[in-house]
Chain A
Amino acid sequence: MNKLKKLGLGIIISFFLVLSANAGSIKIGTEGAYPPWNSKDAAGNLNGFEVDLANALCEIMKHNCTIVEQDWDGMIPALTSKKFDAIMAGMSITSERLKTINFSQGYADEVASLAVMKGSSIENINTPEGINLNIGGSDVDKALKTLTSSLSGKTVCTQIGTIHQNFLESGDVGNINLKTYKTQDEVNLDLTNGRCDVALAAAVAFTDYAEKSGKAVVLTGPTFSGGAFGNGVGVGIRKGDSKLLNDFNAAIDKARDEGIISKLAIKWFGFDASM
């Protein structure tokens, strides 16, 4: 019985084991499943554009940083419940998210795109190269109309809780069969095996996947920006954490001026996505 008592006591104590963060040390949450923004290698280490950028920003801020892995669907709750202090996970600044958390200025911007398998009936959609939903106008309206007829009845796949889901649900592209996934990995798998007719995500997420997997995934239709797609990707920070917000804004300014962001963007995306 004594042993049982000790075990019980041990468990109770471990419940109350609290770890309080040291001053000057911050935790940054990332998904680790959205290459090339953030991902994980076979050794289990996080890498990607945002992992490099986070380390660079922390060096500028002279903060001691730890990067924490967090599934996308729990990213914002994890921030608000203080599991970590900042989000750098390819998270676009949107008005919907701003209701719950704050964002630093954007550090990178990169367009979204549809993708299909080579040989698909909608491999060629007759639209302008890119549309900006903020600008609108007859070109955009015409492009959305073309998209609506091309996508009608198609199974369109995207990651849950993303700007891409918001756009597909906004009604701009009419009646589609929308399927949402927990990770982009799963979207890619179902796109290549044919469960999805077409998928929507950051354009680089598809080009990166096509390159690494050798699968015939190709972009189609226009690239998207503005509107539901938000205003660039920023660092998500808890409301009321204004000191940290200012630190990040200053650090992003400095990193941009020194060309660090551009350099990292070219390294990971192949082009300058800094903003």
Chain B
Amino acid sequence: MELLSFGDTGWGDELFFATLMTIAVSITAMAIGFLFALIFTPLKLSKIKTLNIIGNCYTTIIRGVPELLIIYLLFFGGTGAAMYVASIFGYDGYIELNAFITGALAIGIISGAYSTEVFRGAILSIDKGQFEASKVLGIKKSIQFYKIILPQMLRLSIPNLSNVWQITLKDTSLISVTGLVEIMRQSYIAAGSTRDPLFFYSIAAVLYLILTYLSMNLINKLEIKYSKGY
């Protein structure tokens, strides 16, 4: 237990902040994933062939290659790519994509591919009659989307999004390879420094279990709240 004390000699405070980092990077990644999903879901459902292909490429490629590979690509190549893009716009200085942004972006891209599939499934399960009804009533397409489809889509997505959240939360452990000090990285450093890997990786496992347990409870509450009236 001495190993987990707070302060300069123990690893308690480091692990605590690492846990906060895991939470922060998971939430950011989930939000980035939402953004990607909101862009790619319409593409996947689009009747225009090119858009449809773009949408399908995104989900197929991202879900077909290892997460670690996407992280490595973004981490080793991301800064270079960002500077290249910036140079097109005439900016030649240094650009720093810090470990947090790179990591959250990588996990966000992955999480977004899963969220896209969830949203697509939800929209497809909305009763077709509603589209026709709103058309008959002369409701504008944009209003139809924001007021009718989007709220239902989000509600229908909650159970499956909780799976996406679980995947996202666990995937953040892979960012440890890029140096962002989250739970996994901190356990790795502590295990190396104290030469007690069994203890610290067990602690890491427990921390993840606590996070999944708490977040599942929270999501269940949300689900009950929002399914009222249906």
Contacts and interface: CB of A to CB of B under 8 A. Distances in A.
Interface residues of B, number: 36
A40 interface: yes
* Chain B contact surface mostly: helix
Contact of B80 (A7, A33, A81, A189): A81
Contacts of B165: none
B177 interface: yes
A70 B76 contact: no
B159 interface: no
A43 B28 CA distance: 27
A266 interface: no
Contact of A82 (B9, B79, B101): B79
A40 B101 contact: no
Contacts of B193: 40-42, 185
A20 interface: yes
Interface in B160-190: 177-179, 181, 189-190
B177 A71 contact: yes
Contact of B146 (A1, A20, A42, A183): A1
A83 B197 contact: no
A1 B145 CA distance: 12
A192 to B, nearest CB: 8
Nearest to B100: A14
A77 interface: yes
A20 B179 contact: no
Contacts of B114: none
Interface stretch (B59-67, B90-98, B122-130, B221-229): B90-98
B14 A44 contact: yes
Interface string B124-152: 00000000000000000000001000100
B178 A82 contact: no
B35 A21 contact: no
A82 B94 contact: yes
A112 B162 CA distance: 52
Contact of A74 (B11, B83, B178, B192): B178
Given A42-B11, A74-B75, A81-B80, A11 B195 contact: no
A11 B35 contact: yes
B101 A71 contact: no
19 contacts: A1-B150, A7-B31, A8-B35, A11-B31, A14-B101, A18-B93, A19-B94, A21-B94, A33-B192, A69-B179, A70-B179, A71-B177, A71-B179, A74-B76, A77-B76, A81-B79, A185-B192, A189-B195, A192-B195
